[in-house]
Structure 1
Amino acid sequence: MLVELLGRDAELTDLLPMARGGPLVTVVGPAGVGKSRFATEVATRLAGEFADGVRVVSVDAMSGADQLAAAFVHVAGLDPGEASSVQVCASLAERELLLLLDGCEHLIAECGAWLQALLPAAPKLRVLATSRQALDLWQERKYPLEPMDLPDVGAQGSSLSEAPSVQVFAYYAAMADPAFRLDDRSAADVAELCRRLSGLPLALQLAASRAGSFTVSQLLDRLDGWGALRRATAAPAHHQSLNDALAWSFRLCTAEERLLWSRLSVFVGPFTLAMVAEVCGDERLLPSDLLRDALDGLVRRSVLQDHGNGSYRLLAVLREYGATHLARSEEATASRLARRSWALRMAGAAQAGWRSGQQVEWVRRMTDHWDELESVVEESLLDPEGGEGVLTLLTDLWFLWVAGGRMREGRHFLEAALAVEREPTPARARALWVCAWLALLQDDLTAAHTLLPEMDQAMEGPADDADRAYACYVHGALATLAYDTDVATEHLRDALELMPEEAPFGPGADMIRLTSAAARSRTKPEVARRAALAIQKSCRRRSDGWNATWGDYVLAIVDLMSGEVDSAEKHARAALKVRQEYGDPYGMAVVAHVLSGIMAARPGQEQLAAELEGAASALRKEHGMSLRATRYYWKEHQQTVDRLFATLGDARYEQSYQAGAGQCIDRLLGDPLVE
């Protein structure tokens, strides 16, 4: 939750119309002046005015052009492994979107190049950037954000207390010490402190966080003792002021707090106390009460943000400052390896937890930690010693790719890791079939088939029976999509013979059985129905909700093909309910397409059917997924679309389709949650 923005009313009045008018406004100013917070406030206030909303790109968290390019590709909703700048421009050409580029100063040329291409191609796009220097583009309007206004020398009473810098200090001081009051005794010292800190909001906040331990006069003495605002000959005064404020805050910390601050800089996203203990704890910061005291101390000093839900975060500038101290120590490599070990352990625990009735919880936990996991993967790919470990990490997260809406990212990273780690290990064998599976789910059948020879060869080496079974499953799934039922049945039978009943990894034997049932949904519907019901019962007994809901999906298809529309809707809505709980966009999309077929089979529901088509297609495109990966329903889907065009007409179908594309599936259906 954002803290109230204080003392910026006049600036907001200036910038809001500028940001509306665009095409590019850059908020420029020194470090610590509050550019990010100010721009976020502007974006929040304008969000409702843009049909496609607001997207935020945290450029300050990026280390180079590749990450920036990947962020633009993500904003455009394209495949990170293949999209070009031309495709990004084409995708954003008609979007009515406010794009916030936060912290561009270290990638000025790269940001400028992207915007030079994007702005002419996307006339409805508005860009709000923050940077310590302007981007120097001809379309750019610069908005200098100055430090907070200071009280006049000798000001007293309301003229002093109404100064924005004083308001900011008093606000955070009262948070640190509820007994703090801005009165005649403290006013002069507060005014002097604001001047000494150059009116920089971050520096003011850091100083105010010590109000519970020191009087304002004592805070001033400490500034004097360390020369915290001394001008540097090689750096602008405002830049030096922030560095000195950070150094001063670091100096105020205890030895344990300083050590923890440095070690916490390895985290790029939110972290919990358990993560801190695992990655940062050792004999110098344990037992746990010592570690907790250090953590609480950093929160009190406003070094750490406490989100109030058990998670914490270091602001980027504070993380960077801690990282400089970590780099000077002998602990940098050990800290990075400790974070990597945490990621491997977490992914392994999640993969095991998937089979223990905690599927939804683990999807959510891994989603919450995605920034951290992604950073570990990227770091490991650059480490010659990290290859096999990153393959294990990526395969253990198979459920996040398939059921957690990150199919694109999973495949992209698996392909990169397979290109780096060529040794014939069990981890590589497993990664090959997972990568091929993701490719076929995205309907990239060429890529999936390309992986098959290497996958088959790997299965002849150091692979276990479960992985060999999944390799057979991939062959069977590909044959199913080609409508080659006999070949599919043979491969799926081989997979079931190899698969242990309690698979140590992956979605297990029930997924294979369900695929086999789905393959027979057209030719042998009663056989498919009985098989799906039996598998579903088995899944629910073992709290395997993900496979159980695929059973509902198969039953919905069988019932729809058999003309049992009411029963089909019941199963489809049940499947949709569970997919929503998982946050599974692929599952939601394919079920919504079946629901479209169900509505199309009912006279008077054709418009809703077309809207569902639009919503499902938009969801698939956003996440890089294809309905053709479930080709046992593809023909029926095409027949549904043809029937809707014939019933509604081209114009009305297109209007309904586009209307649905802008809505959530459950909103179209009313209440899809069924018991």
Structure 2
Amino acid sequence: MVADGALPVVRVDVLGPLRVEVDGDVVAVPGGRRRAVLVLLALAGGRTVTVDALVDALWPDAAPASGRQALHSHVSRLRGHLGPAAGRLVTRPDGYRLDIGDEHVDVGWARALLRTARGVADPTEAFALLRTAEGLWRGPVLADLDDVPPVAAAARECARLRQEVVDALVGAALDSGRADEVVGLSAASAADDPLRETATLLHVRVLAATGRAPDALRLAREFRHRLAEETGLDPTPALGALERQVAGGAGSAAVPRPMDPAGSRLVGRAAEVDGLRHALAQDRLVTVVGPGGVGKTRLALAASGGADATVLLLAAVTDPRAVVHALADALHLAVARGDVLGACAALVGDRDLLLVVDNAEHLLDAVRDTVAALLASCPRLTVLVTSREPLGLAAERTWRLVPLAVPAVDAGGRDLAQVPSVALFLDRAARVRPGVVSSDADLAVVADVVRALDGIPLAIELAAGRLSTFALADLRDRLDRALDLLGDGRPTVDARHRTLRRTIAWSDDLLSADERRLLRHLAVFPDGLDLVAAEHLARAVGVTGDPGTALARLVDASVVQAELGDGTRYRLLETVRAYALDALAAAGERDTAERHLVAWATGLAAHLAAAMASEHEPEADATLRRELRNLRAAFRLARTSGDVDAAAAVVVPLFEAIGYRDLVELRGWALELADDPALGASPWAAGVLGAAAEAAYHGGDLARADDLARSGLAVARDAEDAWSCLLPLAVVELARGTFADSAGHALAAADLLPVPRESLGIAAVATAYAGDLPTARGLLDRGRAAAVSPTMRAWHAYVAGEIDHLAGAVGDAEAHYVEAVRLSRTSGATFVVGVATVGLLTVLTDAGRVREALTGYRDVVDDFARTGNWTHLWATLRNLADLLDALGDHATADLVHGAADAAPDAPADDRRPRTPAAAGPHAVDRADLLATVRAAVDRALAARTVTGR
């Protein structure tokens, strides 16, 4: 036995995906069988698991002859993963033992908490223990190991244990007056096993305790009927007794009703509260405008706090004529007949008063008239209105409330907790499941959740409430069903606030038929549209009148967000978009809307192709990156519907982007389309095959690139088709070192089009590598003269640098490389940035500027690795290896060169002819190789820091 404290603590969590920690640090355990061994040892509770039992578990059908040896190998590797805690995996004469206590395996800890809670007299203390136990489940238990019989059996046992924990937790909540905190959990438990009477009894009690006696009785009746229908059995007498208690009112007061949301702490809005109070000090009529669920009511109440305020709640008022009567009620004024509004104005008179009018959007005309009359009659009255659109009065100051700020995609660390949307989620989550967010990884999941919900407070609060039912990661993974998932599960006076769907429907009902139709059709664009495209869409869907007016109305109604910046862009919050997509399907317009999206995408692709060949390329690059989500949606729609031509019309015009930009996804589209059997009948076939060949080349698959390009040439219908296939052939031959063939393909391509684009530059660099520098310069001059776009100018500057470098004109070469990097950065051509930087680094190395070279190599290696461009990455690594070799790191240099010699996607290197024998001993894991290289660069930089060189 290993003494406690002698080795680092190992924790194994199995109540979800397998998670292993060594002294608090998460350790990855790859390989299904290796993970299964660790799980079986952890579940054994410190007992020895025999070799025979482990072999039978790993190979349940028939163990191979090498099974025991393979098991030993897995155990050995597990020790490697455990690192300094490897000694906790103990070898015994007949098997293996994992030396950790039950408290370090989450399922053991859950059992211990359940045992302790059952022995505690105080229900509040029991509730806290059981809440901790229930929070240990993080998702489906070991779902990736369900093909290992003992693990599958353990997962079923964990499910039964969770059932016990949940039952005990709900019971403790009822006993401690906290039924409102387990409504969702008890509902999910009853739904998981609809014939389990214990779960149903508990949920009936919860519903009754939270003031939902009719729902409780209905649930009991449905269970009785379902049990009889499906099993022929009757429930136990306990159900009848409970029904009588609920029907008689017993239990309904056992738990207080949940606090109204407006009574909970306002989080993340301190600046807005101060700003709104300042606005109220300056203006007599301020309207807080924003989408449903953004928190207008709560902000208004917070801003009015401490003032002599009267609150007029209009959510339940549906008749415009009733507004003045509701006002009288709010002022505690009894008016039996006569001029109700006049009586209200007389009561207010000239005293200082703040009138808060909440939820005015569905009664705009009546509220407008009422407020105007009050302001005219009551000189010291201030009115604060909440609405989804302004009243439209001249004296009105509009205060637009936007959703809470969400974290940037790359944000991380504990600072996430200070972001307003995250802070709100944490505040509400702590009320549902204290301690559910306990690590930086959990915070990152919360950041994903609030981003997916666009920072809408109502959505965030409802999501946090669902932690009573879902683990944090499971909640995130189900947010595509947010409209229906995020119901608050409790009765409210205003039923439209019970779910996001009803909240959004309230706004939708206030729109005209044209406006609703435009909203529905905007929803198929996942990232919104700019003004021109949105107006074009409005005309296409038959909006009458000025399309800009319809868009403005949607913005005023707070269902569309207008993002003002470099032009106006109209987008829908994700929750509104989900609602609109459902409405689109219900209206039978989904196909039409999707055709609009695909037509927009094909038109945009054609526009981008023309713009990228011009001086307007930087703007085109920005547009392409901005519209990538919409293009992705259009491409997927075309693929799903089997419209090969439409998909091709999106991909083929983006040939230049596939070749020069780090948008790896576009390469995948081209390769996917090239594999479609239906492509052969398409007029776009050659263009697709050429684009796919370019994509395969940048992915390092030279053989596939060659095959695709030659297949495309065989079916080419015009010069553009042939050019798009000859160009990848040229660069493939360049990578192979067959320079004459490369130049031949490039020159043939140059003759096909009025503007040769990069063709002459490729011919020039191939000719230079072959040793004919004068001819190369002539080709370069011809290509450079025709270059218009920044990328083409950058490409030819790079070629000039290569030629000058070969000629020994190092200073000129450096200037050309620097110019190539500068130009390509302005246009987004990351590929040219990479190759030109590599050329520049060789110049820096030759000039003895080693620190600059090492730093540059580290960055460019990461860039090529990120985009999967191993052909150019191998060339970069070889150059870096030469530098490391010169610095004395011969081992790393030999490793790199050997790996490159063995790699089929590495470009030819005439200094190191490839031999079949080279492939064997030097074949390495590429991720390990890159890690080794990065470490070598760091060592070299550190050494130069120490020596000052």
Is this a same-fold pair by TM over 0.5? yes
Cα deviation for residue 528 of structure 1 reads 1.8
Are 1:300 and 2:540 an aligned pair?
no
Are the equivalent residues in 2 in contact too, given 1:207–1:219 (CA < 8 A)? yes
Task: Return the alpha-carbon distance in structure 1 between the equivalents of residues 271 and 509 of structure 2.
Answer: 22
Task: Return the alpha-carbon distance in structure 1 between the equivalents of residues 586 and 940 of structure 2.
Answer: 55
State the secondary structure of the residue aligned to 2:571.
strand
CA RMSD of aligned residues (A): 4.7
State the secondary structure of the residue aligned to 1:236.
coil
Query: Structure 1 stretch 270-279 or stretch 469-478: which is displaced more?
Result: 469-478
Cα deviation for residue 24 of structure 1 reads 13
Are the equivalent residues in 1 in contact too, given 2:709–2:726 (CA < 8 A)? no
Cα deviation for residue 490 of structure 1 reads 3.1
Task: Return the alpha-carbon distance in structure 2 between the equivalents of residues 571 and 529 of structure 1.
Answer: 14
Are the equivalent residues in 2 in contact too, given 1:595–1:612 (CA < 8 A)? no
Task: Return the alpha-carbon distance in structure 2 between the equivalents of residues 111 and 254 of structure 1.
Answer: 49
Task: Return the alpha-carbon distance in structure 2 between the equivalents of residues 649 and 323 of structure 1.
Answer: 60
CA gap of 1:560–1:206, structure 2 versus 1, over 3 A, is farther
Are the equivalent residues in 2 in contact too, given 1:306–1:313 (CA < 8 A)? yes
Q: Hey, what does 1:550 align to over in structure 2?
A: 795
Residue number among 514, 519, 524 corresponding to 1:261 in the alignment: 519
Q: Hey, what does 2:611 align to over in structure 1?
A: 353
Are the equivalent residues in 2 in contact too, given 1:476–1:491 (CA < 8 A)? yes
State the secondary structure of the residue aligned to 1:285.
coil
Are 1:536 and 2:784 an aligned pair?
yes
Instruction: Specify which structure has the bigger relative contact order, considering alpha-carbon pairs within 8 angstroms and separated by 6 or more residues.
Output: 1
Residue number among 590, 598, 611 corresponding to 2:843 in the alignment: 598
State the secondary structure of the residue aligned to 1:308.
strand
Task: Return the alpha-carbon distance in structure 1 between the equivalents of residues 817 and 357 of structure 2.
Answer: 53
Are 1:619 and 2:863 an aligned pair?
yes
CA gap of 1:658–1:447, structure 2 versus 1, over 3 A, is farther
Q: Hey, what does 2:772 align to over in structure 1?
A: 524
State the secondary structure of the residue aligned to 2:588.
coil
Give the letter aligned to residue 761 of structure 2: L
Consecutive unaligned residues of structure 2, counting only runs of 5 or more, are 1-10, 17-24, 26-80, 82-137, 147-183, 190-257, 277-285, 291-295, 317-355, 372-382, 390-483, 492-496, 893-931, 942-949
Task: Return the alpha-carbon distance in structure 1 between the equivalents of residues 729 and 819 of structure 2.
Answer: 29
Task: Return the alpha-carbon distance in structure 2 between the equivalents of residues 22 and 314 of structure 1.
Answer: 43
Are 1:398 and 2:651 an aligned pair?
no
Residue number among 443, 448, 461 corresponding to 2:705 in the alignment: 448
Are the equivalent residues in 2 in contact too, given 1:206–1:301 (CA < 8 A)? no
Query: Structure 1 stretch 437-446 or stretch 472-481: which is displaced more?
Result: 472-481
State the secondary structure of the residue aligned to 1:521.
helix
Task: Return the alpha-carbon distance in structure 2 between the equivalents of residues 368 and 112 of structure 1.
Answer: 39
Consecutive unaligned residues of structure 1, counting only runs of 5 or more, are 1-20, 27-49, 51-92, 94-107, 117-131, 137-146, 153-159, 194-203, 223-230, 503-508, 662-675
Residue number among 734, 742, 746 corresponding to 1:492 in the alignment: 746
Give the letter aligned to residue 516 of structure 1: A
Are 1:327 and 2:585 an aligned pair?
yes
Q: Hey, what does 2:937 align to over in structure 1?
A: 657
Q: Hey, what does 1:65 align to over in structure 2?
A: none
Task: Return the alpha-carbon distance in structure 2 between the equivalents of residues 586 and 618 of structure 1.
Answer: 13
State the secondary structure of the residue aligned to 1:188.
strand
Cα deviation for residue 394 of structure 1 reads 0.4
1:6-38 deviations in Å (ceiling 9; x for gaps): xxxxxxxxxxxxxxx999999xxxxxxxxxxxx
Task: Return the alpha-carbon distance in structure 2 between the equivalents of residues 205 and 533 of structure 1.
Answer: 73
Q: Could you tell me the TM-score, scaled by structure 2's length? A: 0.46
CA gap of 1:555–1:623, structure 2 versus 1, over 3 A, is same
Q: Hey, what does 1:610 align to over in structure 2?
A: 854
Give the letter aligned to residue 625 of structure 1: N
Are the equivalent residues in 2 in contact too, given 1:614–1:660 (CA < 8 A)? no
Task: Return the alpha-carbon distance in structure 1 between the equivalents of residues 732 and 512 of structure 2.
Answer: 61
CA gap of 1:311–1:431, structure 2 versus 1, over 3 A, is same
Are 1:365 and 2:623 an aligned pair?
yes
Q: Superposition pairs for residues 18-97 of structure 1, below 5 Å?
A: none
Cα deviation for residue 581 of structure 1 reads 0.9
Cα deviation for residue 113 of structure 1 reads 6.0
Q: Hey, what does 1:628 align to over in structure 2?
A: 872
Q: Hey, what does 2:685 align to over in structure 1?
A: 428
Are 1:182 and 2:439 an aligned pair?
no
1:628-673 deviations in Å (ceiling 9; x for gaps): 38x9xx4x97355313332264699855735999xxxxxxxxxxxx
Query: Structure 1 stretch 294-303 or stretch 358-367: which is displaced more?
Result: 294-303
Task: Return the alpha-carbon distance in structure 2 between the equivalents of residues 660 and 205 of structure 1.
Answer: 69
State the secondary structure of the residue aligned to 1:426.
coil
Task: Return the alpha-carbon distance in structure 2 between the equivalents of residues 111 and 619 of structure 1.
Answer: 37
Q: Hey, what does 2:729 align to over in structure 1?
A: 475
Task: Return the alpha-carbon distance in structure 2 between the equivalents of residues 587 and 148 of structure 1.
Answer: 60
Are 1:419 and 2:675 an aligned pair?
yes
Cα deviation for residue 168 of structure 1 reads 11
Q: Hey, what does 1:105 align to over in structure 2?
A: none
Q: Hey, what does 1:641 align to over in structure 2?
A: 881
CA gap of 1:534–1:206, structure 2 versus 1, over 3 A, is farther
CA gap of 1:324–1:535, structure 2 versus 1, over 3 A, is same
Cα deviation for residue 359 of structure 1 reads 1.3
Task: Return the alpha-carbon distance in structure 2 between the equivalents of residues 398 and 210 of structure 1.
Answer: 51
Task: Return the alpha-carbon distance in structure 2 between the equivalents of residues 533 and 660 of structure 1.
Answer: 40
Task: Return the alpha-carbon distance in structure 1 between the equivalents of residues 142 and 715 of structure 2.
Answer: 45
Are the equivalent residues in 1 in contact too, given 2:648–2:688 (CA < 8 A)? yes
Q: Percent same amino acid among aligned pairs?
A: 17
Give the letter aligned to residue 853 of structure 2: A
1:442-492 deviations in Å (ceiling 9; x for gaps): 321122133245223313xxx102322332333333222222223233333
Are the equivalent residues in 2 in contact too, given 1:166–1:190 (CA < 8 A)? no
Q: Hey, what does 1:84 align to over in structure 2?
A: none
State the secondary structure of the residue aligned to 1:356.
coil
Give the letter aligned to residue 469 of structure 1: W
Task: Return the alpha-carbon distance in structure 2 between the equivalents of residues 148 and 261 of structure 1.
Answer: 35
Are the equivalent residues in 2 in contact too, given 1:579–1:588 (CA < 8 A)? yes
Residue number among 798, 810, 827 corresponding to 1:582 in the alignment: 827
State the secondary structure of the residue aligned to 2:570.
strand
State the secondary structure of the residue aligned to 1:302.
coil
Task: Return the alpha-carbon distance in structure 1 between the equivalents of residues 358 and 564 of structure 2.
Answer: 19
Are 1:568 and 2:810 an aligned pair?
no
Task: Return the alpha-carbon distance in structure 2 between the equivalents of residues 435 and 585 of structure 1.
Answer: 19
Cα deviation for residue 292 of structure 1 reads 1.9
